[in-house]
């Protein structure tokens, strides 16, 4: 399991023309207030991550966690928010100059942060972003970029404010589990198809499958590698991270 580093975050808000990247929060949704021209003060957020440690990895699980300290759900119900693949946010990002929104990759209804809801104090909200993180890994990207927004930006109850990387505590977290990161008592999946010269096959077999060039297990807090004495006629490709 690894914790990818947040290297930049910011938010944009309709009607605002300033850089919010030095702020301590990220906002998403419609707060229910209007600009002088009658447009809603809708906000969207952007986060960039250091994905160098997971380049070309097989991602088993990836979870985005945000510290939600305020929500507009006065009825105390859970409301959806989305994580999308986007271009990179920057200090120049504004409502009228947003990074490109490519596609929605995850939706979560987790909601906290409303002081009027006894069951929803400030706390973590999470989204399963495995699909998006696998795309970054497969592309061998050094940076992964995502955008956060309410699923329906006309619904005030979906308004959320969360901590940014500049907050004194509880910054955004992206926790990933990739092949080759081992824990006691578990079996992991690794790529077992050959490298064709351009791409690695994303199919996977069990880490202890007899067709692999070696087995990997964890014993006494140490990763233990066992090389098979008799390899099959067509030896399978083994990820470089496991060639030790």
Instruction: Tell me: do 22 and 74 sit in the same domain.
Output: yes
Residue 230 inside a domain? The answer is yes
Q: Which residues contact 37 (CB under 8 A, 6 or more apart)?
A: 15
Looking at residue 214, its pLDDT comes to 41
Instruction: Tell me: do 108 and 195 sit in the same domain.
Output: no
Looking at residue 184, its pLDDT comes to 53
Looking at residue 119, its pLDDT comes to 85
Instruction: Tell me: do 82 and 103 sit in the same domain.
Output: yes
Instruction: Tell me: do 100 and 211 sit in the same domain.
Output: no
Residue 18 inside a domain? The answer is yes
Instruction: Tell me: do 124 and 223 sit in the same domain.
Output: no
Taking CA atoms, 224 is separated from 98, 152, 164, 191, 210, in Å, by: 47, 49, 39, 18, 16
Identify the DSSP state of 34: B
Residue 184 inside a domain? The answer is no
Instruction: Tell me: do 172 and 213 sit in the same domain.
Output: no
Q: Of 138, 159, 178, which residue constitutes the final position of a domain? A: 178
Smallest CA-to-CA distance from 238 within 54, 58, 3, 61 is with 58
Residue 172 inside a domain? The answer is yes
Residue 27 inside a domain? The answer is yes
Instruction: Tell me: do 209 and 174 sit in the same domain.
Output: no
Instruction: Tell me: do 84 and 199 sit in the same domain.
Output: no
Per mean pLDDT, which range of 76-80, 150-154, 158-162, 223-227 is the poorest?
223-227
Domain that holds residue 227: 189-242
**What CATH number corresponds to the domain at position 119?**
2.60.120
- pLDDT over 80 at 240, yes or no: no
Q: Of 178, 209, 229, which residue constitutes the final position of a domain? A: 178
Instruction: Tell me: do 136 and 42 sit in the same domain.
Output: yes
What's the total number of domains in the chain? 2
164-222 tens-digit pLDDT:
999 999 999 999 999 864 455 555 455 545 555 555 555 544 444 333 344 444 444 44
Instruction: Tell me: do 205 and 171 sit in the same domain.
Output: no
Buried b (16+ CB within 10 A) or exposed e, 64-88: bbbbbbbbbbeeeeebebbbbbbee
Which run of H or of E encompasses 190? strand 189-191
Instruction: Tell me: do 91 and 197 sit in the same domain.
Output: no
For residues 238 and 204, is the Cβ–Cβ distance under 8 A?
A: no
For residues 71 and 112, is the Cβ–Cβ distance under 8 A?
A: yes
Q: Of 123, 146, 178, which residue constitutes the final position of a domain? A: 178
């Amino acid at each position: 399991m690894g914790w990818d580093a947040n290297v930049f975050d910011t938010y944009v808000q309709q009607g605002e023309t300033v850089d919010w990247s030095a702020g301590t929060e990220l906002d998403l949704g419609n707060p229910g207030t209007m600009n002088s021209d009658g447009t809603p003060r809708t906000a969207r957020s952007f986060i960039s991550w250091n994905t160098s440690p997971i380049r070309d990895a097989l991602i088993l699980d990836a979870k985005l966690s945000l510290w939600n300290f305020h929500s507009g759900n006065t009825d105390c119900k859970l409301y959806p928010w989305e994580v999308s693949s986007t271009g990179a946010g920057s200090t120049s990002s504004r409502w009228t100059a947003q990074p490109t929104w490519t596609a929605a990759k995850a939706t979560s209804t987790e909601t906290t942060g409303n002081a009027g809801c006894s069951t929803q104090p400030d706390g973590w909200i999470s989204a399963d972003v495995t699909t998006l993180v696998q795309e970054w890994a497969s592309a061998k990207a050094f940076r992964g970029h995502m955008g956060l927004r309410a699923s329906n930006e006309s619904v005030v109850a979906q308004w959320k404010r969360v901590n940014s990387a500049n907050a004194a505590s509880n910054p955004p977290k992206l926790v990933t589990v990739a092949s080759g990161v081992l824990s006691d008592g578990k079996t992991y999946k690794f790529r077992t198809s050959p490298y064709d010269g351009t791409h690695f096959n994303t199919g996977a077999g069990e880490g202890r499958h007899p067709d692999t060039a070696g087995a990997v297990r964890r014993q006494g807090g140490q990763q233990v590698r066992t090389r098979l004495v008799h390899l099959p006629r067509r030896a399978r490709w083994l990820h470089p991270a496991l060639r030790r």
